Amino acid sequence: MAIFRKSIFTAASPNTQFDDVLITLITLFSPWSWQNEYYNNKFKLQFSEYIKVPYVNLIDSGRSALQIALKTLNIKQGDEVIVPSFTCVVVANAVSYSGAMPIYLDTNQADFNANYERLAEKLTEKTKAVVVQHTFGKKVDVDMVKGILNSANRADILIIEDFAHSIKEDIGLKGDIGFTTFGIEKVMSTVRGGAIFTHKQEIYDALTHTIYELPKFPTWQLIKSLLNPIFWYVAIPLHSVGIGRFTIGAFIRSIWRKMGFLGIMVEDEENRAQKPDWFPAQMAPALSRLGIVQLRKLKKYNTHRLIISKIYHLYLKELSDSEAIDENRVYLRYPILLKDKEQFIKVWNLSRKLRVTLGNWFEKPLYGSTVDDQTYQVLCYVPSLTPETLNKAGLTLNLPTSVNMSKERARELAEEIKSVIV
Ligand SMILES: Cc1ncc(COP(=O)(O)O)c(C=O)c1O
């Protein structure tokens, strides 16, 4: 019966399992351990071994990682940094906070990555770096990017790889710096957190110095972060108890939101391209403690993502990137591109009936819920210059691949979507 069906959310703490809740509770009730650097050091070491990159620094988030990477690489006012337009607003913000100008690269026709083959058209003498984003987890060919820079005699341009959607056992960093996030809805979660990594010791030393000077993670943000996985673990099953949209889970969620306990991924100021003053900050050791538990399960999570993505692909490849799913395509979320708004709404409603809430990355270019034309102006983004991104934004939905999605539910969802689109 539908009312007892478990709700599945693509975004709401999808990696949280019982052991994560346990460690979160233990951490919450042992405040004397919150600043214990032992957890940061251990997590950093284990993460470095996992991704097979020797130099890793932790930080409060992916957005701060990018901002601090740019600062450390001495990128400043008057410089240009190339970023994808099919991304989150916090990426463009990070460039803008550094003083540099973000220059936008349109999206490929065939998939959801930026069209790096047209990179040469964006290069000027002011270009200092290019952000290579592995969108949804599909790897960009970084050797190809390097080849384009070399042919343009611009091997001096730094490559910063954005692994926000892809953390694999051997991450395969080829750029000068890589960064990732441990955000609540990402590949593995410390609720809030991030890492910057490099093969180059001199960059690592400079990063270590800059991060050492940052303020500590604020206590209020930490408490809020620790409450989030516990909240979702309790609230999600209660989302199935009720009628239609009126469920106990939805009710307690709205109360939590009003009380300000629910984490906000993109804050109001960020939607307006302004910087909240509490970050960049150091990684909270208390959150690294959750990271150690998550990292142990990451291989299992990624194998699961691959299996679920293959199921979706079997039914829906004509709506996605049609190449075969493989290790270079472990989707954090499986993206589908609908034909028009009518089809989009049909698929959205049908999924809700199956008690699956799909994701909406990236509903608009430089995505943030209240990003508007004024934000675009501040960030020097001209939508008409990125037509493919405009085609995709607003018609893309993301199907969950996390451990909370079973093979049976994935098959059912894909079959139903297929029946709507034919
Ligand atoms: C592609 C991409 N890069 C970077 C980030 C920033 O990560 P964080 O949320 O930890 O700041 C995000 C976050 O949504 C993202 O989607």
The reported pLDDT for the residue numbered 414 is 98
Predicted TM-score of the model (pTM): 0.97
Asked if the 19-212 domain carries CATH number 3.40.50.2300, the reply is: no
User: What tokens appear for 303 in the block?
Assistant: 């194998």
- Residues carrying an active site annotation: 186
- Ranges of CATH 3.90.1150.10 domains, the chain: 2-17+225-276+297-421
The reported pLDDT for the residue numbered 248 is 87
| Whether pLDDT at 80 is above 50 | yes
CA of 108 to the centre of ligand 1 (A): 20
Distance CA 231, CA 349 (A): 26
**What average pLDDT does range 344-354 have in this prediction?**
96
Mutational pocket test of ligand 1: of 61, 181, 189, 270, the residue with most ligand atoms within 8 Å of the beta carbon: 181
| Whether pLDDT at 312 is above 90 | yes
Check if 190 has its Cβ closer than 6 Å to any atom of ligand 1: no
CA of 230 to the centre of ligand 1 (A): 22
The reported pLDDT for the residue numbered 257 is 83
Label residue 261 by pLDDT band (50, 70, 90): confident
Q: Residue 223: exposed, middle, or buried by beta-carbon count in 10 A (0-12, 13-18, 19+)?
A: middle
The reported pLDDT for the residue numbered 165 is 98
**What average pLDDT does range 401-417 have in this prediction?**
97
| Whether pLDDT at 230 is above 80 | yes
Q: Lowest mean pLDDT: which of 11-20, 220-229, 246-255, 279-288?
A: 246-255
- Where do we find the tokens 């049909």? 346
The reported pLDDT for the residue numbered 256 is 83
Reference 301, options 405, 179, 171, 183; nearest CA is 405
CA of 14 to the centre of ligand 1 (A): 16
The reported pLDDT for the residue numbered 43 is 98
Label residue 3 by pLDDT band (50, 70, 90): low
The reported pLDDT for the residue numbered 259 is 80
Check if 62 has its Cβ closer than 6 Å to any atom of ligand 1: yes
- The three-point CA angle 186-190-193 to 5° equals 80
| Whether pLDDT at 1 is above 50 | no
Cα 218 vs. chain centroid, distance in angstroms?
22
Reference 85, options 398, 408, 407, 381; nearest CA is 381
Q: Which CATH class is domain 2-17+225-276+297-421?
A: alpha beta
CA of 420 to the centre of ligand 1 (A): 32
Atom from ligand 1 closest to the CA of residue 90: 6
The reported pLDDT for the residue numbered 200 is 98
**What average pLDDT does range 184-202 have in this prediction?**
98
Q: Lowest mean pLDDT: which of 1-15, 28-42, 224-238?
A: 1-15
Label residue 119 by pLDDT band (50, 70, 90): very high
- Ranges of CATH 3.40.640.10 domains, the chain: 19-212
Reference 220, options 40, 23, 34; nearest CA is 34
The reported pLDDT for the residue numbered 258 is 83
| Whether pLDDT at 2 is above 60 | no
Label residue 255 by pLDDT band (50, 70, 90): confident
As a whole number, the mean pLDDT across the chain is: 95
